[in-house]
Amino acid sequence: MKSYRIEWGSHRLDLGNTTRIMGIVNVTPDSFSDGGFFFDCDAAVARGEKLAEDGADILDIGGESTRPFSEAVSAEEEIRRVVPVIEKLAVRISIPISIDTTKAVVARQAIEAGASMINDISALRSDAEIAGVAVKYDLPVILMHMKGTPESMQVSPQYDDLTGEIKDFLKDAIERAVKRGIDRRKIIIDPGIGFGKTIEHNLLLIKKLKELADVGVPVLIGPSRKAFIRKILKDKAGNELKPHEPAVETGTQAAVAAAVLAGAHIVRVHDVANTVSTVKIIDALKKA
């Protein structure tokens, strides 16, 4: 497994020997997993502090749900949700804070408030100006594959060559970012589990994650509590499980373990404490 070091400002991420954990804080009323739980600023700040205490290496703060069939919110509303949370967290924790947004104006204000990474699920396609924000502040950027938009991505997604098409998309996204001035050494890719993929697509992506390794940048993956896990597990009546049922977290940890074995450098999760234990064991197995 190839190792990487990303250095910027006062932060450094060594990726490869130790799997890094990104903790999720959704400051939204409607995210699929924890929408509404941390919509209040103080609750979101407390959640971020808890995830950092539990062992997160990065916090990812988002103010717009990207669950299947979700609708976009305005930049003004997104800023209202995330900026106060980031301002408070930035002076309380030392780990980098990532802003999960596709909008340049949101990214800019989040960075001014203390964020130091950009997680763009559109891979710079939604807002052409977001690359300029990353360049201005010289920050790491996460580029994700998504087929369609959150409103449409889960309507019969199809691929002729799943890993090949996603790999080509991410290669193009990297080159597009570099042409716009982003330092290649600060780019991370995400194959986009659950974003325009069926259950089988998600399973194959995790299984074949190594095929993305030769793209030449670190790989992040986010299987946490996703629908493919909930649908595989089901209850006795055959119904999809709810995101907060204990079995879903167990399933998430199984997916995390498989992803780390397959080459993920960073895992994006809701439950950091459980994930710390999982990746310690898998990292030890990889080194044995």
Q: Average pLDDT, stretch 105-131?
A: 97
Contact at 8 Å (CB) between 251 and 39? Answer: no
Q: Is the dihedral of CA 177, 179, 181, 185 positive or negative?
A: positive
Closest by CA to 192, choosing from 126, 146, 253, 143, is 146
Q: Annotated active-site positions, please?
A: 226, 268
Q: Average pLDDT, stretch 27-37?
A: 59
Q: Residues 256, 245, 78, CA angle at the centre, nearest 5°?
A: 75
**pLDDT at position 36:** 47
pLDDT band at residue 32 under the 50/70/90 scheme: very low
Paired with 189 in beta bridges are 143, 219
Q: Which residue is it, tokens 């030890």?
A: 284
**pLDDT at position 213:** 84
Q: Average pLDDT, stretch 220-242?
A: 95
pLDDT at 255 over 70: yes
Contact at 8 Å (CB) between 144 and 123? Answer: yes
**pLDDT at position 82:** 96
pLDDT band at residue 13 under the 50/70/90 scheme: very high
Closest by CA to 97, choosing from 23, 190, 20, 186, is 23
Dihedral of the alpha carbons of 24, 25, 31, 34, in degrees to the nearest 10: 90
Query: Higher pLDDT residue, 150 or 273?
Result: 273
Q: Which letter, b or e, does each residue of 156-194 get, where b requires 16 or more Cβ atoms within 10 Å of its Cβ? A: eeeeeebbeebbebbbebbeebeeeebbeebbbbbbbbb
Burial (0-12, 13-18, 19+ Cβ within 10 Å), 126:
middle
Domain map (residue ranges) of the chain:
19-287
Q: Does domain 19-287 have CATH number 3.40.50.740?
A: no
CA end-to-end span of the chain, whole Å? 14
Pairing of strands 141-144, 97-100: unpaired
Q: Average pLDDT, stretch 245-274?
A: 97
